Structure 1
Amino acid sequence: MWKTGLVAAAWFVLSCPNCRSADAKNDAPSHLGQHVESFTLDNCYGKAVSLDDFESAHAIAIVYLGTECPLAKLYGPRLSDIQRKYADRGVQIIGINSNKQDSLTEMAAYVHRHEIGFPMLKDPGNRVADAMGAQRTPEVFLLDRDRIVQYHGRIDDQYGVGYAKERDAKPELTLAIDALLGGELIQTPETEAVGCYIGRAQEVEPTGNVTFNKDIAPIFNNRCVNCHRDGEIAPFTLTSYDDVLGWEDTILEVIADNRMPPWYADPQHGTFANDARLSETERDLIETWIDNGMPQGDPRDLPAAPEFAVGWQMPQPDEVFPMRDKPFAVPAEGIVDYQHYVVDPGWKEDKYIVAAEARPDKRGVVHHILVYVIPPGANKRDFRQVVAGYAPGLPPLELTDGVALEVKAGSKLLFEMHYTPNGSPTDDRSYLGVKFTDKANVRKRLRGRLAVDQKFKIPPGVSDHEVKAAYVARQDENLISLTPHMHLRGKSFRYDATFPDGRQQTLLSVPNYDFNWQLKYVLKEPLTLPKGTLVQCTAVFDNSEGNMTNPDPSKTVTWGDQSFEEMMIGFMDTVPVTDEF
Structure 2
Amino acid sequence: MARSSSLLILIGALGATTAAGQDGPGAYKEAPSIAVDHRLHRVGELAPDLPFTSIAGEATSLARYAEGRPLVIAIRDVGCPLSKKYGPRLAEIEQALGDKDVRFLYVNPSEIDTVEQMRAEKAAYGFQGAYVADREGTIARTLGCDRTTDVFLLDGSRTLMYRGAIDDQYGIGFQHEAPRHTYLLRAIDAVLANRTPDVRATTAPGCAVDWSGRDVQPVEPAITYHSRISRIMQQHCQSCHREDGVAPFALETYQQVRARRGAIRQSIETGVMPPWHAGEGSRAFLNDRSLSARDRDALFRWIEDGCLEGDPSDAPRPLVWTEGWEIGEPHAVVTIPDPVSVPAQGAMGYRYQYVKTDFPEDRWIRAMEIRPTHPEVVHHVLVFIEEPPREGETRREIQARWQGGLQGYFAGLVPGQATTMYPEGTAKRLPAGAWLKFQLHYTPNGRAVEDRTQIGFIFADTAPEREMHTSAAMTTRLDIPPGASNHEVKATTTFSRPAVIQSFAPHMHVRGKAYRYELTWPDGTSEVVLDIPRYDFNWQTRYVLREPIRVPAGTKLTCTAWYDNSDGNPANPNPKARVRFGEQTWDEMMIGYFEYWRDE
In structure 2, the residue matched to 1:324 is: 337
1:258 corresponds to: 271
Whether 2:436 is the aligned partner of 1:436: answer no
Q: Which residue of 2 aligns with 1:218?
A: 231
Structure with more helix by fraction: 2
Preserved contact between residue 228 and residue 239 of structure 1 (Cα < 8 Å): yes
2:431 is matched with 408
2:411 corresponds to 1:388: yes
> Which residue of structure 1 lines up, in the alignment, with residue 242 of structure 2?
229
Farther off after superposition, 344-353 or 413-422: 344-353
Q: Shift of the alpha carbon at 1:564?
A: 0.7
Question: What secondary structure does 2:583 align onto?
Answer: coil
- 1:334 maps to 346
Counterpart of 2:312 in structure 1 is 299
Choose the corresponding residue for 1:508, options 513, 530, 541.
530
2:380 to 361, 368, 379: 368
Q: Counterpart in 2 of 1:272?
A: 285
C-alpha displacement of 1:375: 6.3
Q: Tell me which residue corresponds to 1:474.
A: 496
Q: 1:447 to 1:348 in 2, by over 3 A?
A: same
How many Å apart are 1:324 and its aligned residue? 2.3
SS in 2 for 1:434: strand
8 A contact 1:375–1:408 mirrored in 2: no
Letter in 1 for 2:548: P
- Aligned with 2:581 (options 548, 551, 559): 559
**Structure 2 CA distance for aligned equivalents of residues 445 and 456 of structure 1:** 32
Question: What is the Cα deviation at residue 494 of structure 1?
Answer: 0.7
The alpha carbon displacement at 1:474 in A equals: 1.3
State the match for 2:300 in structure 1. Answer: 287
> Given that residues 321 and 431 in structure 1 are in contact (C-alpha distance below 8 angstroms), is that contact kept between their aligned partners in structure 2?
yes
For 1:254, give the aligned amino acid: S
- Give CA deviations for 1:367-392 in whole Å, capped at 9, x if unaligned: 11111111699566444443321112
Confirm or deny that 1:489 pairs with 2:502: no
Which SS does the other structure have where 1:314 is aligned?
coil
Verify the 8 A CA contact 1:375 1:410 in the aligned structure 2: no
Contact persistence 1:315–1:355 (CA under 8 A): no
Q: With the length of structure 1 as denominator, give the TM-score of the two structures.
A: 0.61
Looking at structure 2, the residues matched to 292 and 301 of structure 1 have their Cα atoms a distance apart, in angstroms, of: 19
Task: Indicate whether 1:449 and 2:461 are aligned.
Answer: no
Q: Which of 331, 349, 365 matches 1:353?
A: 365
Q: Could you tell me which of 505, 513, 518 is aligned with 2:540? A: 518
In the TM superposition, what are the counterparts of 1:540-559 in structure 2 within 5 Å? 540-559=562-581
Out of 377-386 and 217-226, give the one that drifted further: 377-386
CA contact (8 A) 1:318 1:436 kept: yes
Aligned-partner Cα distance in 2 for 1:210–1:455: 53
**What amino acid is the match of 1:369?**
V
TM-score with structure 2 length normalisation?
0.60
Partner amino acid, structure 2, of 1:373: I
Amino acid at match of 2:492: A
Q: Secondary structure at the match of 2:264?
A: helix
Q: What is the CA–CA distance in structure 2 between the aligned matches of 1:460 and 1:382, rounded to whole Å? A: 27
Does the Cα contact within 8 Å between 1:356 and 1:387 map onto a contact in 2? no
Structure 1 residues 477-529: Cα deviation after superposition (integer angstroms, max 9, x where no partner): 11111111000111111111111011110111111111011011111101111
Matches within 5 A, 1:65-144: none
Map of 1:91 onto structure 2: none
Q: Find the structure with the greater CA-based Rg.
A: 2
Letter of the 1:475 counterpart: R
Establish whether residue 465 from structure 1 lines up as the match of residue 478 from structure 2: no
Cα contact 1:473–1:534 (8 A) shared by 2: yes
The equivalent position to 1:425 in structure 2, one of 430, 433, 448, is 448
Structure 1 letter corresponding to 2:249: F
Which deviates more from structure 2 when the two are superposed, residues 362-371 or residues 208-217?
A: 208-217
Letter in 2 for 1:463: S
Q: Secondary structure in 2 aligned to 1:364?
A: helix
CA distance in 1, matches of 2:328, 2:463: 17
| Distance of 1:243 and 1:269 partners within structure 2 | 34
Task: Please list the CA deviations of residues 85-118 of structure 1 after superposition, one character each: whole Å capped at 9, or x if unmatched.
Answer: xxxxxxxxxxxxxxxxxxxxxxxxxxxxxxxxxx
CA contact (8 A) 2:408 2:593 kept: no
Q: Deviations over 1:151-191 (max 9, x none)?
A: xxxxxxxxxxxxxxxxxxxxxxxxxxxxxxxxxxxxxxxxx
2:557 to 535, 545, 552: 535
CA spacing shift, 1:535–1:380, aligned 2, 3 Å? closer
Aligned 8 A contact 1:330 1:425 in 2: yes
Report the Cα distance in structure 2 between the residues aligned to 1:381 and 1:351, rounded to whole angstroms: 23
Return the letter of the residue paired with 1:236: F
Report the identity percentage.
Answer: 38
Cα 1:506–1:525 change in 2 (3 A) is same
Residues 407, 473 of structure 2: 8 Å contact kept: no
In 2, the alpha carbon distance for the partners of 1:532 and 1:263 equals: 31
Letter in 1 for 2:422: L
Residues 467 and 597 of structure 2 are in contact (CA less than 8 Å); yes or no, is this contact kept in structure 1? yes
2:178 corresponding residue in structure 1: none
| SS of structure 1 residue aligned to 2:574 | coil
Contact 2:410/2:470 (8 A) holds in 1: no
3-state SS in 1 of match to 2:259? coil
Alpha-carbon distance in 1 for matches of 2:500, 2:430: 20
Instruction: Give the Cα separation in 2 of the matches to 1:515 and 1:392.
Output: 12
